[in-house]
């Protein structure tokens, strides 16, 4: 999530960049997740119903992006 406002105080800007202040604005984190899950169907996995674990966070950034890490789950024997 981008910082947006150019007129932020240094403290607010630093709090956002350090993760002390997190974005609680739209779009909802769940909307990002669902779009990514659906978009990667038949590319990374056959169907997003195969996903058994995920962790998500939303941060402010001067370099807005989405980072995805995919690992194959191996059951413990």
- Cα-flanking dihedrals φ and ψ of residue 54, to 5°? -155, 150
**Cα gap 61→17, rounded to integer Å:** 6
* Residue 16 CB neighbour total at 10 angstroms: 22
**28-57: pLDDT as tens digits:** 999 999 999 999 999 999 999 999 999 999
- CB atoms near residue 31 (< 10 Å): 10
- The whole-model pTM stands at 0.76
């Amino acid at each position: 999530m981008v910082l947006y406002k150019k007129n932020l105080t240094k403290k607010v800007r630093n709090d956002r960049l350090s993760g002390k202040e997190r974005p609680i604005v739209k779009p909802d984190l769940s909307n990002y997740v669902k779009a990514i899950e659906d978009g990667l169907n038949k590319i990374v996995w056959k169907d997003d119903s195969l996903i058994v674990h995920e962790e998500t966070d939303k941060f402010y950034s001067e370099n807005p992006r989405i980072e995805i890490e995919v690992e194959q789950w191996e059951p413990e024997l």
